[in-house]
Amino acid sequence: MLLIFVHKSSERLKYILDFVLSEREIEYVTTSDISSFQNHTGPRLNYSSDKLEGIAQIIPSPILFDEGTQVYGIDKGIFCQEECLAINGKMDPLGAVFYILSRMEEYNSKILDKHGRFPATNSVLYRFSWLDKVVCDRWAEALIRFLNESNGNALGHKRPNFRMLPTFDIDNAYAYKLKGGVRHWLAISKDILKGRAQRILEREQVIYGGQKDPYDTYDQILELKLRGFEPVLFWLLGDFTKFDRNVSFKNKKHRRLIKKLSKEFKIGIHPSYKSNSYEFFLNLEKERLEDIIEIDVDHSRQHFLKLQLPYTLQHLETAEIRHDYSMGYPDYYGFRSGTARPHLWFDLEFNRVSKLTLHPFAYMDGTLHDYMKLKPEEAKEIIHRLVDEVKTFGGDFVFVWHNETIGGYGKWAGWKEVFEFTLSLNQNE
C-alpha cells in the first residue's frame, strides 16, 4: 500500500491518482497525519512542500488544488529521465497529467478554426512535439519508476493491455442510392454544370443498371468481425443541411441497413453539425437511432469532430451518452489528451468527475489525406509509429475511417492498403 502525504485532498487529486495508480493496480491512501505517515513501513510519497528527510518528495503545483481554469506558466523539463510538463516552474508529473488529460488549455480558447474547433497546432503537445506520444502514460510510468527507486522497488504495476479498434463514421450511407426526388435532379444538374460526365454515367449505372454504389462498403466492414475486430459505427441522422448530407432517416431501405448492422456491431450516434450548437437536435437524432435499432444509444462521435469544451461534453452527458469517441484532432494525428486509454472526463467548470468516458483516437483518414496531404507510404510510417507507442504503454488504438474511404474510390485510390496496413499491425512483430 502506497501512503501519500498531502496537506489537503481534492477531487482533482483523487481523479489523477486513480488514473496514474489505481488503474495500474497500485493501491494507495492519502493522509494529512504527519505522524502516521512517518511511521508507515511501506512505500511513501511526500506530495507537499514540507521537507521530510529520506522520503521521496514531489512539490505540488497548484493545479490539483485550484478550482476552475487558471492561467499557468507552462514549460518543459525532465522528470525521472522523461521529458515532462512543468507548471509554474514545478516539475510535478501528477499536475502535468491533469493539465493534459482534462484539456484545460481548450477551455475559453479564442483561437478556433472556421468550424469552431480547437486546432492541434495551438496545443502545448504540438508546440513541444509530443502529440505522437502518450505523454500522460509516459509521465505515469516515470512517477512509478521514481517511487520504486525511492522505496526499494516495492511497487509492482500492471500495464493496460493493447487493443486495436477500427471505427467508422457513416456521414453518407451511399453516394447515389436512396437519393431520389429533388435531391437526385439537383445533383444531376450540378454535375452537368461542372461537366462531370463520368459522374452522371456512374450515377445512372448505380440507380438503374445494378452497379454497386461506391460507398457501399458494408461487406468489408462486416468482414472485420470475422477477422477478430469489433468495429464501432457512428451514424449521422441529422436533417439535410450544408454539412449534414446523409440519406433521410425516414427512408425504409436506409433504416433496414442500420438495423441489420446493429445486430453485428455497436452503433452510436454521429451528432449533426448543428447539434453542437442546439442541444435539442442531439436528443432528437439520438431518439431517431434508438427508434431504428430498438436499443438505448450511449455511444457517440461528433460530426466534423466539433468539440467545444466544456459544453459539447456536458450536453452529451445530459443526453445520457456514456462513451464518446471525439477526442482527437481533425487537422493532425496523435493523442489529443495524452493517452490512448479510455478515461472519465473531468468537468473543470464544475470541478467534478463526470459519467462520460472518453475514448481517444490516434488518427483519422481525412487528417492524413485531406489536411496533411500525405501519400499512402508516408501515412503508413506515421501509423506504425503511433501503434508502436500504444503497444509500448497500453491502451486502445482507436482510428477513424468512413464507409466512403475504405473502398479506394475516387481520390481514395491506394488508401485501402493504408487501412489494411493499420489492421496488420495488430499482430505482434
pLDDT of residue 200: 67
In a domain, 293, yes or no: yes
**Mean pLDDT estimate for the chain:** 94
Task: List the grid coordinates of 350.
Answer: 464544475
C-beta separation of 293 from 234 below 8 A: no
pLDDT tens for 76-97 read: 999 999 999 999 999 999 999 9
Sign of the four-CA dihedral 161, 164, 169, 174: negative
Distances (CA, A) of 45 to 10, 22, 62, 99: 17, 15, 17, 21
Residues forming beta bridges with residue 344, ordered by sequence position: 357
Domain tally, the chain:
3
Residue recorded with cell 499536475: 95
Task: Indicate the pLDDT class of residue 167, thresholds 50, 70 and 90.
Answer: very high
**Is residue 346 domain-shared with residue 397, that is, in the same domain?**
yes
Does position 270 have pLDDT exceeding 70, yes or no? yes
**Is residue 196 domain-shared with residue 244, that is, in the same domain?**
no
**Is residue 292 domain-shared with residue 189, that is, in the same domain?**
no
In a domain, 111, yes or no: yes
Does position 182 have pLDDT exceeding 90, yes or no? no
Give me the sheet containing 2-5, strands edge to edge. Answer: 28-31, 2-5, 44-46
pLDDT of residue 34: 95
C-beta separation of 302 from 335 below 8 A: no
The whole domain housing 201 covers: 185-212
In a domain, 180, yes or no: no
**Is residue 98 domain-shared with residue 134, that is, in the same domain?**
yes
What residues have CB less than 8 Å from 233, skipping those under 6 apart?
167, 168, 169, 170, 221, 261, 265, 266, 267, 268
Task: Tell me the percentage of the chain whose pLDDT exceeds 70.
Answer: 95
Report, as an integer, the average pLDDT of 281-288: 98
Task: Indicate the pLDDT class of residue 189, thresholds 50, 70 and 90.
Answer: low
**Is residue 199 domain-shared with residue 304, that is, in the same domain?**
no
Q: Could you tell me the pTM of the whole model?
A: 0.95
**Is residue 282 domain-shared with residue 312, that is, in the same domain?**
yes
Task: Indicate the pLDDT class of residue 106, thresholds 50, 70 and 90.
Answer: very high
Highest mean pLDDT: which of 49-53, 205-209, 337-341? 337-341
pLDDT tens for 10-32 read: 999 999 999 999 999 999 999 99
In a domain, 429, yes or no: no
What residues have CB less than 8 Å from 226, skipping those under 6 apart?
none
Distance from CA of residue 24 to its chain's centroid?
Answer: 21
Distances (CA, A) of 239 to 36, 207, 292, 308: 62, 23, 16, 22
**Is residue 314 domain-shared with residue 219, that is, in the same domain?**
yes
In a domain, 24, yes or no: yes
Report, as an integer, the average pLDDT of 122-141: 98
Distances (CA, A) of 237 to 72, 285, 415: 41, 6, 27
Task: Indicate the pLDDT class of residue 380, thresholds 50, 70 and 90.
Answer: very high
* CATH number of the domain encompassing residue 245: 3.20.20.370
**Is residue 144 domain-shared with residue 199, that is, in the same domain?**
no
Distance between CA atoms of residues 410 and 405, nearest Å: 9
**Is residue 103 domain-shared with residue 122, that is, in the same domain?**
yes
Distance between CA atoms of residues 393 and 133, nearest Å: 10
In a domain, 158, yes or no: no
Does position 335 have pLDDT exceeding 70, yes or no? yes
In a domain, 7, yes or no: yes
Task: List the grid coordinates of 84.
Answer: 515532462
Report, as an integer, the average pLDDT of 188-206: 70
**Is residue 135 domain-shared with residue 256, that is, in the same domain?**
no
Does position 185 have pLDDT exceeding 60, yes or no? no
**Which of the residue ranges 50-54, 215-219, 424-428 would you say has the lowest mean pLDDT?**
424-428
**Which of the residue ranges 113-117, 182-186, 237-241, 284-288 would you say has the lowest mean pLDDT?**
182-186
**Is residue 300 domain-shared with residue 408, that is, in the same domain?**
yes
pLDDT of residue 427: 83
**Is residue 199 domain-shared with residue 223, that is, in the same domain?**
no
C-beta separation of 348 from 108 below 8 A: no
In a domain, 289, yes or no: yes
Give percent helix, percent strand, percent coil of the chain, each to the nearest 5: 40, 15, 45
